[in-house]
Structure 1
C-alpha cells in the first residue's frame, strides 16, 4: 500500500496589488477564432437521483476561475455520482463538458464537499453546472476578491486589482505604506469547514503614525471567528507613517480535511489466478503526486490499482479497480503506478494490486507566508 501525504498550510494569502494595465487583447487560436478571456462563476443546477429531485443540505461555493471561449459560447459541466446513507456524494465522475476552456477543475472536489440529507442511499445522481461569464470590468468585485484568495487560473490580472481598489483609495500612492509589524490570527484556534477555504477581507485606513483605523469587514465567507480574529490582527499591525485611506488586507483559513471513505481490503480485490508475490521491491519508486484540485480543498481519497509485471520489471496492464470519493483519484493513481518499475525477476508477476491512499498531513506544516498586501 502506498500512502501519499502532502502537507497543507493554514495561513494567510497576502494579495499583491499591481499598477493598472491595458486589458489583454483576445487570444486567437490556430483556427483563427478569437477567444475571449472571461471570469467564470459556476452556478449549480438541480440535483436528481434516479430522475427524482434531491435537496442539498450544504454546498460550498465553487471557486471563481478564468476561461477562454468563442464569444457567446455557454459553459456547462455535468457530473454523475451516488449518495451514501450519511448524505455524502461518492463515485463522482465528470460526465460531460461543453463550451469554455478552463485550466482548473474545482467542481468535482466542491461536489465531494457537498452534503445531502441522511437516509437511504441514492444512485444514478446527476448535477449540471452552468457558468456565468463576465469581463473583468463587469465582474462582481466580490468574485474578483474571492479569485485573489484562490487564483486557480493564474494570477489576477492588473485590471482586476484596479477593480478591487476602493473608491478614493490612496493606499497605492507612492511611497506606499510598508508593514513594520504584521500581526496574524491564531489560525489553529479558528473553526474550519471541511472542503472549503474561508476568507475575510479587511478594509482599513491609516492615521499619520501608521496605525490602522476605521476597520471594517469588506467581504468574506461569513466565518465570524475568522472575521473577528482578522480584525484584531489588522488592528495590531503597524505601518510606516503617513495617512492613507482605502487599504485592504485578506486572511484565509484553509479547509478542514475531509477524510476518505472506507476502503476495501486489497486482498479482496486480487484475482484468484494472480501470482503476485508480497514484498516485491520497487526498482523505481512511484512518483507520488496528489491531484491538485482535491488537495486545494483538503479532500482525501484512495484508489485500488491492478497491474502485471514483466520479468525485466516493467509495469503493464494497469487498470483501476475502484476509487473513492471520485474517479479523479483512480486516474491519478494510474499515473503513479505507471511511473514506477519493479525489480527484475525470473518470471514476472500478474494480478498485482496496489492500494494508494491520498492523505493530507498537518504534522509538517510550513510557516505562514508573508507578502505585500493591497497598497503596501
Structure 2
C-alpha cells in the first residue's frame, strides 16, 4: 500500500513546489526484455553396459528438438538405464534423471534405437545432453526437424525466416499442381516418423528445376520419391524463383511391444469378477502414440469393500516405464462397486495400435 504524503503550506499560504522527480538509470542486470527462445537439441552419449564396454550403435534415434522460452530452470540432461536383448533392442527402459514423471520424447527415442546384435546385455545406461542455441540462429536442419515432428509451441517468426532464408517462392508463388509420392510404396520405419525436405527453383514457365534433397531422416526411398514428386509439380508463371522448399513425410510403422511373459502355471485373476463403478480408461502415452510404439504393463492393486482402489504398483513394464506409469494412473483413477474386498489383484494392460494409427479401445487384460 502506498502511503499518502501530506504537504503543509507555510505561514504565507504558499504551497511549496513539488520535489523534483528522480529517474534512476536502468540496471542492466534487471532487464525486462523477453528472453530469446532457445532451440534445444538432445545429443546422445555413449551406451555402456555392466561390463563397462561401449555398445555399438546401429540406429541411434535422438529425442525430438524442443523449444525453451528462457524462463525458469534450463533443460537438464536426461539419463536412462535399460537392457539390450540379443537382437539389439533396448528393453526395460527406466528414466533415472529427471524423475519418471518428467514426460518427454527421450524414452520413445531410446525404445526405437537399435544396437549391435549379439549376446543380451544388462545394466546399460545412456545420457542425452541438451545443446541450446537461439532459435533464430539455429541450423536450418534442426529447425526443420522441430517443425516436421509437430512440436509446440510454434517457432518464432525469426526462426521461420532463417529456415526459409532466400526462399523466393514465399512472397506469393502458388502451386497449380502439387504432386505427391505413392506413400504405400515407401517402406515406413518402425517407431520413426520419416521426412524429407526438398529444395528446388521455379522457372519462368512454372516448371521446377534444380530439384535436390536438402535434409531429412535418412529414408532414401522417401527422399527419391519426394524429389520425383517435386519434379512433376507445377507453379504459377513468373520470374525465376530460387531456393524454394517443400517437405514430405511418412508416418511411423508400428513398433510392436516386446512379448509379455506367460502367466505362471495355475495363475488366476483374483479380481476377474470385479464390477467397476468407474471403469479404467486407458490413455495411450502421447509421445509413444506419435511414434506408433506399443507397450504393456503388469499392475497390482487392492480394492476396499466400499470400492476404493489403492496400493497400486507397477510390477513390470515394456519397453519403458512410461507405460507402467500410464497404466498405474489408469487404475488409480478407477473405482469398483461394493464387494467383499480384494488384495493383490493383478492386471495386464496392453497399449496397441491398429488401422491407420488410432489406438485400440480401452481395455485391460487384453
Which category describes the TM-score, using the shorter chain as reference length? 0.7 to 0.9
Please give the alpha-carbon distance, in whole angstroms, between the structure 1 residues aligned to 2:333 and 2:202: 54
Structure 1 residue 358 and structure 2 residue 351: aligned? Answer: yes
The residue number in structure 1 matching 2:6 is none
Provide, for residues 310-367 of structure 1, a one-character-per-residue CA deviation record: whole Å limited to 9, x for no partner.
333332221111101111110011111222233x2341322221111111213577xx
Structure 1 residue 40 and structure 2 residue 33: aligned? Answer: no
The residue number in structure 2 matching 1:165 is 164
Provide, for residues 246-271 of structure 1, a one-character-per-residue CA deviation record: whole Å limited to 9, x for no partner.
3211001122221111112356696x
Structure 2 gaps, min length 5? 1-29, 359-366
Give the counterpart of 2:333 among 330, 336, 339.
339
Provide, for residues 40-65 of structure 1, a one-character-per-residue CA deviation record: whole Å limited to 9, x for no partner.
11111121111332222221233222
Q: Residues 283 and 266 of structure 1: is their aligned pair in 2 closer, same or farther, counting only changes over 3 Å?
A: farther
Aligned residues: 325
Provide, for residues 163-217 of structure 1, a one-character-per-residue CA deviation record: whole Å limited to 9, x for no partner.
01142x32222xx233343322121210122222221111223334543333221
Structure 1 segment 107-186 matched on structure 2, within 5 A: 107-167=106-166, 169-173=167-171, 176-186=172-182
How far off is 1:303 after superposition? 0.3
Larger RCO: 1 or 2 (CA < 8 Å, sep 6+): 1
Q: Residues 347 and 144 of structure 1: is their aligned pair in 2 closer, same or farther, counting only changes over 3 Å?
A: same
Assess if the C-alpha contact under 8 Å between 1:57 and 1:115 holds in 2: yes
The residue number in structure 2 matching 1:189 is 185
How far off is 1:158 after superposition? 1.3
Q: Mean Cα displacement is larger for which, 319-328 or 111-120?
A: 111-120
Give the counterpart of 2:278 among 284, 292, 301.
284
| Larger Rg over CA atoms | 2
Normalising by structure 2, report the TM-score. Answer: 0.79
Q: Secondary structure at the match of 1:194?
A: coil
Structure 1 residue 310 and structure 2 residue 304: aligned? Answer: yes
How far off is 1:92 after superposition? 0.8
Q: Secondary structure at the match of 1:193?
A: coil
Assess if the C-alpha contact under 8 Å between 2:49 and 2:123 holds in 1: yes
CA-based RMSD? 3.0
Structure 1 gaps, min length 5? 1-27, 366-376
The residue number in structure 2 matching 1:78 is 79
Q: Secondary structure at the match of 1:53?
A: coil
The residue number in structure 1 matching 2:246 is 249
Please give the alpha-carbon distance, in whole angstroms, between the structure 2 residues aligned to 1:186 and 1:247: 22
Please give the alpha-carbon distance, in whole angstroms, between the structure 2 residues aligned to 1:313 and 1:354: 17
Normalising by structure 1, report the TM-score. Answer: 0.77
Please give the alpha-carbon distance, in whole angstroms, between the structure 2 residues aligned to 1:123 and 1:203: 44
Structure 1 residue 323 and structure 2 residue 317: aligned? Answer: yes
